[in-house]
Amino acid sequence: DQQVKQNSPSLSVQEGRISILNCDYTNSMFDYFLWYKKYPAEGPTFLISISSIKDKNEDGRFTVFLNKSAKHLSLHIVPSQPGDSAVYFCAASARLSGGSNYKLTFGKGTLLTVNP
Amino acid sequence: NAGVMQNPRHLVRRRGQEARLRCSPMKGHSHVYWYRQLPEEGLKFMVYLQKENIIDESGMPKERFSAEFPKEGPSILRIQQVVRGDSAAYFCASSPNAGYSHGYTFGSGTRLTVV
């Protein structure tokens, strides 16, 4: 039973364009969401997060949008750069709802390729 | 300011042998988490430890797997009598407190191959 789903295994975009990575979740207890970026043979690196009390969080070229009613979040990268090519993982936790605030549930990841 | 250090980076074991994976958290971090990534899968939580205490091991297989985080030294994830299905990347993460809002810092992982 996958509680965090990233339905697109891969995404290819041109340099300078927008990359949109999507993530859906099923567990209503999740109230905190994170995106991680992972290069081959390295560990995941934290990118950006959002609490369920917000619907948008922005950090430079990266923006995460949260639609609670649809249980959907997305990561926007604008403009995309070749160095952004990596696997992006969506993760969720139940920080405030009485669940285990330290336990992250990850999606399977989306491989983003940004072509020069 | 070293990050989370995991060793070895690669480990090959024959079926039935023991595997020991080590993790040194970032300086100042006293919370350690182990995650496993099977091929084509996302990372899955295994265990959460603080110094000398196992807080949550709900993600650990009931047999053959154990973890510790002693007062001195790194955290150890131990897999006894390894089987082919244990082949995976094992990632350790650390944080200064539980539920750290900026996300955990992960190590580069140990890739275990069971032959």
Using one digit for the tens of pLDDT, what is the confidence trace for B46-64? 999 998 899 999 999 999 9
Largest CA distance in chain B: 40
Return the pLDDT at B101.
Answer: 60
Residue B104 — pLDDT band, cuts 50, 70, 90? confident
End-to-end CA distance of chain B: 36
Mean pLDDT of B93-111: 83
What's at A92, amino acid-wise? A
> What would the two tokens of residue A95 be?
């920080």
pLDDT in tens, B61-70: 999 999 999 9
> Distance (Å, rounded) from C-alpha B21 to C-alpha B111?
10
- Tell me whether residues B42 and A102 touch, CB distance under 8 A: no
Return the pLDDT at A100.
Answer: 65
Mean pLDDT for chain A overall? 93
Scanning B5-64 for CB atoms below 8 A from A yields: 6, 31, 33, 35, 40-45, 48, 55-56, 59
Return the pLDDT at A4.
Answer: 96
State the CB neighbour count (10 A cutoff) for residue B83.
12
Q: What SS3 state is found at A82?
A: helix
pLDDT in tens, A39-62: 998 999 999 999 999 999 999 999
Alpha-carbon distances, residue A73 vs A60, A61, A93, B47 (angstroms): 18, 17, 14, 27
